[in-house]
Structure 1
Amino acid sequence: MSVLPLPSLLLLLLFLRPFHVISQPTTIQNDQNTLLNLKRSWSNPTAISHWNASSNPCSWPEITCSGTTVIGITIVNTDITGPIPPMICDLKNLTHLDLNYNYITGAFPTTLYSCTNLQYLDLSQNFFVGTIPEDISRLSPDLRYLSLFSNNFTGDIPVSISRFSKLSSLQLHQNLFNGSFPEEIGNLNQLEELNLSYNKFIPSRLPQSFTRLEKVRRFYMTEANLIGEIPANLSGMAALELLDLSVNSLNGSIPSDLFLLKNLTEVYLYGNNLTGGIPDSIEALNMEIIDLSANKLTGKIPDGFGNLTHLTNLTLMFNQLSGEIPVGVGRLPSLRDVRIFTNNFSGPLPPDFGRYSELQIFEVSQNQFSGNIPENLCYNRSLIGLIVFNNNLSGTIPKSLETCRTLKSFQAQGNQFSGAIPDGVWKIPSLKTMMMSDNSFSGELPQELGPKLSTLEISNNRFSGQIPTKLSSWTSLVVFRASHNLFDGAIPQNLTALANLATLLLDGNQLTGSLPATIVSWDSLTTLNLSGNQLTGQIPAGLGFLAVLTALDLSNNHLSGQIPSQLGRLRLVSLDLSANRLTGIIPGQLDNAAFDKSFLKNPGLCSNNPSLGLSSCGSRSENGRSTKISSKFVAIIAAIAVILLILALLSTGYVVALYRRKKNRLDSKWKFTSFQKLTFTESTILPRLTDNNVIGEGGSGKVYRVPVNRSGDFVAVKKISNAKDLDQRLEKQFLAEVEILSTIRHSNIVKLMGCISCDNSKLLVYEYLENRSLDRWLHRKQAPSNRGLNGSVRHVVLDWPKRLRIAIGAARGLCYMHHDCSQVVVHRDVKSSNVLLDGEFNAKIADFGLAKILAKDTEFNVMSTMAGSCGYMAPEYAYTTKVNEKIDVYSFGVILLELTTGKEASDGSEHSSLAEWAWQHTLGGAPMADALDNDVNEPVYLNEITGVFKLGLWCTSKLASNRPSMKEVCQMLQRYSPAAVGRMEKNGGDAVDHLPLLKLENV
């Protein structure tokens, strides 16, 4: 065989080398080609624009390599849309695939069955629909982590999911599962974390086999609609650290071996129907959080709880527990939050509470505790809330609280305390609420209050002396209730300078002298009660300029003179001037049946309205003296006039027509239909439908605020029409509202108490909500406390905690309509003016005139006409008039944007709505914080406000299919409650981090 010369051999080798590279690419080049094809199939998302042929894939931040082989892809929060292409499994060594928080749609990607080495799969927070396939077990048998949470999967969880013998974490929460989950999940003996929360499984119970999950550390089934009992034997879950079965329909008792699980640190069983006692065998000494609230538990707190040295939160409220609190519980060194209110506990409170731990929340109200308040509650200067009302506690307030500068709320009403309140307690710099009513406290009011004190309630005590004249430090006061004490002297002029004061109750004291002649700045005052004192002089005309005053009681004093005509300007719901020495004529605007008991026991008063029970003014001159007109002469003149009138009418036939009209009116009787037991009838309502009681007016008529008894209770009455013939459209709205509200009951839906109807008019009678509608507060439309004496508007800020409470309440109401009614109810006119607020700013959905009950067997109902309000209307509704629940979700999203930005629904740019503006602002790359309302944009709330703003964006997605359900919205908002936020922080994050990340699709 001949041998090539060396130069020829080298030349041949040089020629063959590049040919070899081209014909047989390396593994990394194959993987690079696959990744670039993958990028193209997803329409080249901007987030991975750096993927190119000139760089090594192992240098791309989304790619993980082992040597020169791609083993992992992590592409989170990008614009990936469409399905996952089969080519992804050309990455033969792929073990890790994380595509969470994108826009991937369609059914579960069975193309991943070809990824035979997959160990970690996260497809959460996308838009997958349909069921999880029965053959999902065809995924790699090495699968250890599977996360599909926050998608739109429905149906059952398939049995085959239990065949992943190496699975350690299974995340299926926040989907739309409406079937069952298999008992075989208990066979996953390597499972450490199982989360099935926030689904709507068919009524079921926790399978007994779940107790075999011996390696499970974290087990969530919150709001999974479980019905039945917790398995009696939990000892198989030896590794269990967290158990959350809250808000289900579980009954029976807590398993006796629950606290024998030595690794257990957190237990959440709140919101069930559990009975029996708390297990007293305690070996879980690492326990940190115990929440057994809102059940029907009885018996005592186990003595063993006194050994839980790591316990930070003990929450047992709303049960029927009894007995004394173990002394050892008061000595726990980590205890920060104690909430055991509304039970039957008795005996003294352990004296060492707060002595050995940084106690922050201490709520033991509505029990039967006796003895003193523990002296050391604020020993470590951390106490925020001290809530002990409605017990049998006695003694004095501990002087040690004077130095508790962190205290924000002190509620001790309804006990047997006595003595003076320590001077320093009045002045605590952070104190906002101080409620001491219904005790036996004595002493005088201080000249100085803490700078943040807004609620001071000290009624039904033995406080005495004069009301201080120097009140410069009282400027934050909003509510001052001091009824039935021993105060004397005059009402100081400076009291009227408290611009934020909304409620002032000084009735049942010994006050003397005249009312302040000049009212300086009671701009926000809504309720004034000075009855049962010894006040003299005249009623100041300045009271008539208090634009938001709705309740005025000056009864049982010695007031004299005439009633100022200016009082007729007020829109009073309750007025009582009885039992005084007033004289003269009742001002015309007050001279109506709505005030039939407001002026009694004033012999010098007169009225032209017999329903007021006063002498007639017909026989009086303006100064009250009798006139000398001859009654005989008047009778003769009247008789002649009547004869002439009858002759004239007979000649025209008018008498016949008049008779017919009168007969028709008599036949048109009012019919009163009540939907609950009421203490009033139509005769209470009808005379009070006066202009003085009008509180609003809309397209369907006026709304009145009508008093119904002497106790100050009132209702709201909507008058649909007073025309001769009721408009057909209004008739339909009336019938729709009656049909819906008469059959549904929910604390966040306005209560329809009854309806009154005749041939040509319809009245709807609702519960009255004193804080009126949300839009008045957000957009400064004469909210109940924002108009000054001179008519100028003062901005009353609705703080963020109230806004969040409103959002949660309104979401619950809509969630009930969409998910829990026997037939789905779509409101069709959700807007901030239809969200009403009670005195505690709890929200209720109102105005169901446009609501629609959807047929069960159709996804959409088509309306013949479009209805709704500008700025709140979903895009698809404007073009197709198709109705389903998602149009309400869109409108509610606008409300969330209003709550977070302070803007009105139509307040975008010149040609856009608030929703469009919010999307443009966000997609334009501007900082999200710039969009938020400066009035509430405090650093402490920034994460919450930002999260709710994002949720508003998601709800206002242009595609209805991309919007969440109201159930999902409600669950997300509830995560911001104080308890939930504390739990998130405990788990190493905040509420925003643990919410489903909200998606911003192109508009």
Structure 2
Amino acid sequence: MSILPLFSLLNLLFLLPFHVISQQPTNQNDQNTLLNLKHLWSNPPSLSHWNQSSNPCTWPEIICTATAITRINLAYKDINGTVPSFICDLKNITHIDLNYNYITGEFPKALYNCTSLQYLDLSLNFFVGRLPDDISRLSPELRYLNLYNNNFTGDIPVNISRLSKLSSLQLSHNSFNGSFPVEIGYLSNLEELNLAQNDFIPTRLPRIFTRLRKLRKFYMAEANLIGEMPGNLSGMAALELLDLSQNQINGSIPSDLFMLKSLTQVYLYQNNLTGGIPDSIEALNMKIIDLSENKLTGNIPDGFGKLMRLTNLTLMYNQLSGEIPRGIGRLRSLHDIRIFDNKLSGPLPPDFGRYSELKIFEASRNKFTGNLPENLCYRRKLIGLSVVMIGLSGEIPKSLENCSSLKSFRVFGNKFSGAIPDGLWKVPMLETMMISSNFFSGELPQELGPKLSRLEICNNRFSGQIPTGVSSWTSLKVFKASYNLLDGAVPQELTALANLATLMLDGNQLRGALPATIVSWSSLNTLNLSRNQLTGQIPVGLGFLEVLTVLDLSRNNLSGQIPSQLGARLVLLDLSSNDLTGIIPSQLNNGAFDRSFLNNPGLCSDNPLLGLKSCSSRSKTRLYGKISAKFVAIIASIAVILLLLAVLITRYIIVVYQRRKYGLESKWKFTSYQKLNFTESTILPRLTENNEIGHGGSGKVYRIAVNRSGDFVAVKKISSKKDIDQRLEKEFLAEVEILSMIRHSNIVKLMGCISCDTTKLLVYEYLENRSLDRWLHQKQAPSSRGLNGSVRHVVLDWPKRLRIASGAAQGLCYMHHDCSPAIVHRDVKSSNVLLDSEFNAKIADFGLARILAKESDLNTTSTVVGSIGYMAPEYAHTNKVNEKIDVYSFGVILLELTTGKEASNGNEHISLAEWAWQKALGGAPIADALDNEFKDPIYLDEMSCVFKLGLWCTSKLPTKRPSMKEVCQMLLRCSKASGMRNNVGDVADLFPLLELENA
């Protein structure tokens, strides 16, 4: 949860009484002190108006009384350097705000001399080291201390509790790895305490904290708390916000928690809390309750139905039971309720949505009965509805067809019946409709909503023909209609859907021939038409679909020969149980398709692995008609013996060949890191050229089907060669060691490893959209070729690029800041950023990664490894290894995303990073450097912001680069660049444009 808006508000409140700036002249010493500060901080452009000829009290950063400077606000000023001792020559200074700059060094003890200081904000800088034990030497008048988002380590000193007038203490998002003192509980004036997101040694929450009678906001999320929450919270009568989420807290929720009448927000999610939710409710001003991802049992308290200001109720992933109190459905402010994955039962309260602007309703995987509430979208605000697998019945309320705000409709796995309301198919904002495994009936509509991209209606009773209006379903990417009662032919119009990636119509009553001409299935990768009554030949056009990898036409009445064009890219094929004839095409005539052609009597193959009859010519007729029967018998016997010998020898040769080809002559060891439904016997025979999707310095990568449902894995094969055995072994062990330990949604998942003496195999999750570089630089994967030979390139729009950047940054941030010990990847590049079907990014290929012994160590490696254009200057020249080399490489990716250029292709002589810096320092508008292919004025601020972040990350000096934690935060700000311009100026200008010698 972000606390930046809170800091901004506090700062504003401090400044309001002084909004009329005194125009009285100040003394010359104060002016000289300010000009010396400007000079020390390398004369940042944002302070160009500071000069000898003007009165400092007229400078917008300075606030004065009649004769003295009292406040200095230098937030967002691109300041580099340290805090000097002479800053306290401003004898009357009470407020110093230096947040969001690039100030380095240890905590500035120089501030001890600012004896009147009341407000100190050093947040969002690059301070390091421990807080000094004598921090109590700061002004005894200090009321506000903010050190948020720096790199302070060690303990929080006990003496901080001697700053007795503190009302706000903000120490979150640092790297504190020691303890925090219980004496903080004696700060009787404390109103805000934030220690969240640090790595304290496992510590119980001190009971003494409950004595903080003035405390209004208490943040200790991700602070490594253990044990039980302290009881007797009545002493914290002023508490408004409590955040103890993402810790290791066990025990029960204190019985008096909801008796705190000032309480408005409670976050206790992702702990180990047990027992019930307290029944006593007096906090009637409560707005947000998040108790999710615990082990809570019992009922939802009836008292929750009295919380008329409650906006968010999140109780998912617990073991709650009983019915939902009917009063919750009548809450007038409720707009977000998430109660899925519990054991709740009974009917859903009928008034949900009737009295409030309900936006999110998620109640999946419970044991509810009865109907779906009629008024869920009464206020026309509902965005997401998910009631999956909970036992509801009846018809879908007709009122939902007027729900123009609805984006996601997920009701699969229930007992709903009847027809889908006509208007629901056409809701203008609807993107996902998942209604499989119910008893719905009726026919499919001629039209769908303009944004509907995922339609899943499997295992229902839909009937009739697929409408010819299907050609208007242009946004559809996934259409799953398996096991219904659809009949008639597969219409030609269905092949016009250019965005369709998955089409599953198996288990219906479709008949007739397939469309002979495939108009525009350029994105189709999965086609399943099995278990129908289709006739005719397999269309040749299927062989020209460049991304088609899964094809199932089994259990039909198809005839004729298999097109020779089929199979160039197929990894899963099933043509069994048809009437096909002829020879298996050469591209399919291998063991990877050993069950693809069964029950087709007219097919033949000379490959015994396919289980088909041989295509060799039959024995010739007898040469001599008058040879005696006895002689014929002798000849026949000899022929049989020779034939048997030939079969045995052939089989032996084939077995030997297969064993050598797949390495089966060695003893394989299969190690899995999660529950899997396949073994090495599934993987090894499919390491064929047809399944190869890439290769690198360590070996080839294959895409392997592991079941008949179309699930895939990616397999990286590291083959042994004598001259590089040792290096490859180290790469293999490093990758296995790292990936088996870490779990993050933005890091590729290692499912298992297979090894023998001569070959190493790593089995990863398969990501449909492959690597980022293929999309950015128009390589093979993102293009498709139509039947007329034209090439259609798929271009990543800017929102996707920004989401990819944020996801990859989160993955690297986890490696650098959340892993213990920290992990340096050492080969970050766009080809090692993989994309799933929704273009979510995952960091991959850890063969070159290195685990640091300590976070602060600067290790040296004997061999420089990396990729041209991505290597940090100091790494190439000195072999120095720390997190900042990954930051540099990630900066290059940001420049690729914004300019469209390749890392090694700034121009013919320099890299992209060098080219970008020359552009930036040459004075030309940033927009001139951005990618013209998709540049849109509405995204210009965001693109410029990310481009400048790329420059900052690729600074020549490692100390000038941000941390990945800072990069993540900057990307979040970039994503809001357009909306922030009226508040904080152009966000793209928040980054330092460093000097050329540091570039």
Q: Normalising TM by the smaller chain, what interval? A: 0.7 to 0.9
| Partner AA of 1:240 in structure 2 | L
| Gapped regions of structure 2 (runs ≥ 5) | 1-23, 624-631, 646-655
Is the CA contact 1:672–1:754 (under 8 Å) kept in the aligned structure 2? no
Is the CA contact 1:553–1:575 (under 8 Å) kept in the aligned structure 2? yes
Alignment of 1:58 onto 2:54: no
Shift of 1:274: 1.7
State the SS of the aligned residue for 1:833: helix
Is the CA contact 2:945–2:987 (under 8 Å) kept in the aligned structure 1? no
User: Corresponding residue for 1:515?
Assistant: 514
User: Corresponding residue for 1:191?
Assistant: 190
Is the CA contact 1:502–1:785 (under 8 Å) kept in the aligned structure 2? no
User: Corresponding residue for 2:888?
Assistant: 890
Pairs within 5 Å for 1:96-107:
96-107=95-106
User: Corresponding residue for 2:627?
Assistant: none
User: Corresponding residue for 1:607?
Assistant: 605
Is the CA contact 1:672–1:681 (under 8 Å) kept in the aligned structure 2? no
Is the CA contact 1:455–1:480 (under 8 Å) kept in the aligned structure 2? yes
Q: Distance in 2 between matches of 1:518 and 1:617?
A: 31
Residues 851 and 188 of structure 1, relative CA distance in 2, 3 Å threshold: same
Choose from 875, 878, 893 the match for 1:877: 875
State the SS of the aligned residue for 1:671: coil
Is the CA contact 1:289–1:312 (under 8 Å) kept in the aligned structure 2? yes
TM-score calculated relative to the size of structure 2:
0.87
Residues 373 and 679 of structure 1, relative CA distance in 2, 3 Å threshold: closer
Residues 673 and 835 of structure 1, relative CA distance in 2, 3 Å threshold: farther
Q: Distance in 2 between matches of 1:409 and 1:663?
A: 50
Summarize deviations over 1:199-255 as a string: whole Å, max 9, x none.
Answer: 211111221111122112222222222222222122222222222222222222222
Give the greater-gyration-radius structure (CA).
1
Q: Distance in 2 between matches of 1:243 and 1:682?
A: 50
State the SS of the aligned residue for 1:441: strand
User: Corresponding residue for 2:143?
Assistant: 144
Shift of 1:838: 3.8
Shift of 1:400: 0.8
| Partner AA of 1:720 in structure 2 | I
Pairs within 5 Å for 1:498-897:
498-569=497-568, 571-619=569-617, 628=621, 669-676=665-672, 680=678, 682-721=680-719, 729-741=727-739, 748-759=747-758, 761-783=759-781, 786-790=784-788, 792-798=790-796, 806-807=804-805, 809-819=807-817, 823-856=821-854, 859-897=857-895
User: Corresponding residue for 1:47?
Assistant: 46
Residues 280 and 956 of structure 1, relative CA distance in 2, 3 Å threshold: farther
Residues 356 and 914 of structure 1, relative CA distance in 2, 3 Å threshold: farther
Q: Distance in 2 between matches of 1:386 and 1:678?
A: 31
| Partner AA of 1:113 in structure 2 | Y
Q: Distance in 1 between matches of 2:389 and 2:349?
A: 18
Shift of 1:257: 1.6
Q: Distance in 1 between matches of 2:327 and 2:426?
A: 33
User: Corresponding residue for 1:8?
Assistant: none
Q: Distance in 2 between matches of 1:699 and 1:415?
A: 50
Q: Distance in 2 between matches of 1:487 and 1:109?
A: 74
Residues 764 and 58 of structure 1, relative CA distance in 2, 3 Å threshold: closer
Q: Distance in 1 between matches of 2:88 and 2:659?
A: 86
Alignment of 1:231 onto 2:227: no
Is the CA contact 1:108–1:129 (under 8 Å) kept in the aligned structure 2? yes
Is the CA contact 1:408–1:433 (under 8 Å) kept in the aligned structure 2? yes
User: Corresponding residue for 1:466?
Assistant: 465
Summarize deviations over 1:252-304 as a string: whole Å, max 9, x none.
Answer: 22222221222222222222222222222111111111122222222222111
State the SS of the aligned residue for 1:867: coil
Is the CA contact 1:150–1:996 (under 8 Å) kept in the aligned structure 2? no
Q: Distance in 2 between matches of 1:567 and 1:529?
A: 15
Aligned residues: percent identity? 73
State the SS of the aligned residue for 1:958: coil
Residues 627 and 425 of structure 1, relative CA distance in 2, 3 Å threshold: farther
Shift of 1:403: 1.2
Is the CA contact 1:146–1:170 (under 8 Å) kept in the aligned structure 2? yes
Q: Distance in 1 between matches of 2:380 and 2:512?
A: 44
Q: Distance in 1 between matches of 2:80 and 2:576?
A: 73
Shift of 1:779: 3.4
User: Corresponding residue for 1:113?
Assistant: 112
User: Corresponding residue for 1:200?
Assistant: 199
Residues 558 and 673 of structure 1, relative CA distance in 2, 3 Å threshold: same
Q: Distance in 2 between matches of 1:743 and 1:381?
A: 46
Is the CA contact 1:524–1:788 (under 8 Å) kept in the aligned structure 2? no
TM-score calculated relative to the size of structure 1:
0.87
Pairs within 5 Å for 1:143-182:
143-182=142-181
Residues 84-93 or 850-859, more deviating: 850-859
State the SS of the aligned residue for 1:463: strand
Q: Distance in 2 between matches of 1:263 and 1:839?
A: 45
Shift of 1:178: 1.2
Alignment of 1:288 onto 2:284: no
Summarize deviations over 1:615-644 as a string: whole Å, max 9, x none.
Answer: 111136xxxxx76598979999x99xx9xx
User: Corresponding residue for 1:243?
Assistant: 242
Summarize deviations over 1:845-902 as a string: whole Å, max 9, x none.
Answer: 3222222233449812222221111232222212111112322233234334545665
State the SS of the aligned residue for 1:568: coil
Q: Distance in 2 between matches of 1:508 and 1:528?
A: 13
User: Corresponding residue for 1:426?
Assistant: 425
User: Corresponding residue for 1:356?
Assistant: 355
Is the CA contact 1:348–1:372 (under 8 Å) kept in the aligned structure 2? yes
User: Corresponding residue for 1:7?
Assistant: none
Residues 395-404 or 226-235, more deviating: 226-235
| Partner AA of 1:868 in structure 2 | G
| Partner AA of 2:228 in structure 1 | E
Residues 920 and 147 of structure 1, relative CA distance in 2, 3 Å threshold: farther
| Partner AA of 1:830 in structure 2 | V
User: Corresponding residue for 1:217?
Assistant: 216
Shift of 1:428: 0.9
Is the CA contact 1:101–1:999 (under 8 Å) kept in the aligned structure 2? no
State the SS of the aligned residue for 1:567: coil
Q: Distance in 1 between matches of 2:362 and 2:734?
A: 44
Residues 889 and 629 of structure 1, relative CA distance in 2, 3 Å threshold: farther
Shift of 1:557: 0.4
Residues 840 and 462 of structure 1, relative CA distance in 2, 3 Å threshold: same
Summarize deviations over 1:336-386 as a string: whole Å, max 9, x none.
Answer: 111212222211111111111111111111222221111111111111111
Q: Distance in 1 between matches of 2:690 and 2:249?
A: 52
Q: Distance in 1 between matches of 2:330 and 2:826?
A: 55
Is the CA contact 1:943–1:992 (under 8 Å) kept in the aligned structure 2? no
Q: Distance in 2 between matches of 1:989 and 1:327?
A: 44
Shift of 1:194: 1.5
Pairs within 5 Å for 1:291-370:
291-370=290-369
Residues 560 and 155 of structure 1, relative CA distance in 2, 3 Å threshold: same
Residues 288-297 or 900-909, more deviating: 900-909
Is the CA contact 1:303–1:328 (under 8 Å) kept in the aligned structure 2? yes
Is the CA contact 1:481–1:506 (under 8 Å) kept in the aligned structure 2? yes
Residues 294 and 958 of structure 1, relative CA distance in 2, 3 Å threshold: farther
Aligned residue pair count:
945
Q: Distance in 1 between matches of 2:213 and 2:925?
A: 47
Q: Distance in 2 between matches of 1:783 and 1:661?
A: 32
Pairs within 5 Å for 1:969-988:
969=967
Q: Distance in 1 between matches of 2:67 and 2:854?
A: 57
Q: Distance in 2 between matches of 1:588 and 1:773?
A: 30
Residues 665 and 43 of structure 1, relative CA distance in 2, 3 Å threshold: closer
Shift of 1:754: 2.0
Is the CA contact 1:947–1:992 (under 8 Å) kept in the aligned structure 2? no
| Gapped regions of structure 1 (runs ≥ 5) | 1-24, 621-625, 643-659
Is the CA contact 2:907–2:915 (under 8 Å) kept in the aligned structure 1? yes
Is the CA contact 1:526–1:784 (under 8 Å) kept in the aligned structure 2? no
